[in-house]
Amino acid sequence: MTNFAQQVLEEVTRIPGVRGALLVSEDDGLIVAEALMEGVDGPAVAALAASLTGRLGRATRALGKAAPVLLHLQATGGAVFSAAGGEGLLLVAVTAADVNAGLVRLSLLDAAGRLS
């Protein structure tokens, strides 16, 4: 699983503008596997992504809807994408602001599907 996860993360990081990818435990917000560029605060990204996904999931369930499949948080200096990877895991990507968001989404959903 670890080698496979690492391979999947490295595939995501090959997209230009992606500064790192992580596999995160959804309940704990802890890193399971990572492929990050230097300077990216992995634990902070993992905790933020898990917290956002958890809160958004609770909000949508309270509205009677299914949990979101993919989360895209766009900020001034970059973006965070998070997709459910099955077995309580999240596949998270940290990107530059000008990344091809569509390509990142497709790649993450494809990778998340293979991890499930």
Q: Which residues bind other proteins (CB under 8 A)?
A: 24-25, 27-30, 43-44, 46-47, 50-51, 54
Phi, psi torsion values for 57, nearest 5 degrees: -60, -45
Q: Which is nearer to other proteins, 35 or 50 (CB)?
A: 50
Q: Which residue stretches of 14-100 are H helix?
A: 42-62
Q: Which is nearer to other proteins, 34 or 99 (CB)?
A: 34
CA dihedral 73, 71, 105, 68 (to 10 degrees): -160
In the complex, least distance from residue 53 CB atom to other proteins, rounded to whole angstroms: 10
Q: Which is nearer to other proteins, 5 or 26 (CB)?
A: 26
In the complex, least distance from residue 102 CB atom to other proteins, rounded to whole angstroms: 28
In the complex, least distance from residue 21 CB atom to other proteins, rounded to whole angstroms: 17
For residue 71, list its beta bridge partners.
82
Strands (DSSP E) found in 17-102 = 18-25, 31-36, 70-74, 78-86, 89-96
Q: Which is nearer to other proteins, 39 or 102 (CB)?
A: 39
Place of tokens 């293979």: 114
In the complex, least distance from residue 52 CB atom to other proteins, rounded to whole angstroms: 11
